[in-house]
Amino acid sequence: MTVNDLVERFGLQVVAGNQGLDRQVEDGYCGDLLSEIMGNAPEGCAWLTIQGHQNIVAVAVLRNMAAIIVAGGQTLDDETQQKANQEGIPILLWPDSSYQLAGRLFSIGIGNARVQ
Amino acid sequence: MRELSLHILDIAENGITAGADCIHILVEEARTTDRLIIKITDNGQGMPTEKIKKLTAPFVSSLTTRRVGLGLALLAAAAERCDGRLTVKTGTGTGTEVGATFRYNHIDRAPMGDMASTITTLIIGNPQIDFVYTHIIDGEEFTLDTRELKAEMGNLSLTKPVVIYHLTASIRNSLGKLIAKNGQ
């Protein structure tokens, strides 16, 4: 499943990093404490967070993520958008909570290979 | 909290609840030495010193031990997460000084947030209280003192929308210049 598939399926708003929309989404991760994300987020994941400052792009690049999804109706700082465009990391907006979207992602098979 | 400016708003409101009529807000961004310092000083009634220890423990809350809510506990956690600390100097009748330090470049340091809106929000909500806001970036300083503004403006109220609009723009502009002056 690509980032663009998620955009279409859940009506996410693409606000940066259009050039990365064909990235494969292998897994999912939630969290807002950047040091923790940096240590634990899986490669190729879609990361759900409420943070909007530019460090999120640095963390996403470091973990080779598929996309950042900014949840909770939060918005991005201007610099975040610029950095994400430079790095080709898609940033998508979701108006409801991380929990609500994480449940939907899981139910379509993202990140549930490890459960059985 | 998602931004440091929200912590500042919260702590300043504690000062107002404590009966202060003047609140000093200092933000110092020392990027060359990797420190960020926030200090909020009020001239309110202060607190008895035996309360200080309890202030940052989030679960000792009761109305008798806690007048100020969770704000200090959250700010302490935010500072300590970034290799900094919280200090509170207070005593009955002496006002309160809350200081928080952070490592400027720590990955978990929350962004500064919108200081211009924070300061004008305080001014609009509390026209009878004076605010002195100082923001220093690598040694370059900007100060806004509502006592001076009120003296300059005579009978024109600081809370009028048009005044607030210009004030917000002026703070943003001044901070922008401080940042530009020091590169980055």
Summarize the confidence of residues A73-96 as an average pLDDT: 95
In a structure prediction context, what are the per-residue pLDDT tens digits for chain B, which is 184 residues long? 889 999 999 999 999 999 999 999 999 999 999 999 999 999 999 888 777 777 766 655 555 555 556 788 889 989 999 999 999 999 888 899 999 999 999 999 999 999 999 999 999 999 999 999 999 999 999 999 999 999 988 877 888 899 999 999 999 999 999 988 876 5
**Is the entire prediction scored with pTM above 0.95?**
no
CATH class, domain A3-107, is alpha beta
Domains of chain B: 4-181 (3.30.565)
Summarize the confidence of residues A57-84 as an average pLDDT: 94
Query: Higher confidence at residue A65 or residue B47?
Result: A65
User: 3-state SS string over chain B?
Assistant: CCCHHHHHHHHHHHHHHCCCCEEEEEEEEECCCCEEEEEEEECCCCCCHHHHHHHCCCCCCCCCCCCCCCHHHHHHHHHHHCCCCEEEEECCCCCEEEEEEEECCCCCCCCCCCHHHHHHHHHHHCCCCEEEEEEEECCEEEEEEHHHHHHHHCCCCCCCHHHHHHHHHHHHHHHHHHHHHCCC
Give the pLDDT confidence of A9-24 residue by residue, as tens digits.
999 999 999 999 999 9
Q: Chain A residues with CB inside 8 Å of B108's CB?
A: 33-35
> Quick one: angle between helices B161-181 and B115-125, nearest 10?
150
Q: What is the per-residue pLDDT for A97?
A: 98
Q: What is the ipTM of this complex?
A: 0.74
Question: CB distance A34–B111 less than 8 Å?
Answer: no
Say yes or no: A33 contacts chain B, CB-CB below 8 A: yes
Q: Chain B residues with CB inside 8 Å of A77's CB?
A: 111
Q: What is the per-residue pLDDT for B133?
A: 98
Summarize the confidence of residues A100-106 as an average pLDDT: 97
Domain boundaries in chain A? 3-107
Find which of B3, B108, B115, B184 to mutate to test the A interface (most A CBs within 10 Å of its CB). B108
Say yes or no: A61 contacts chain B, CB-CB below 8 A: no
Say yes or no: A50 contacts chain B, CB-CB below 8 A: yes
Give the pLDDT confidence of A38-48 residue by residue, as tens digits.
999 999 999 99
In the numeric block, which tokens belong to residue B170?
A: 């002026």
Summarize the confidence of residues A49-68 as an average pLDDT: 94
Q: What is the per-residue pLDDT for B63?
A: 52
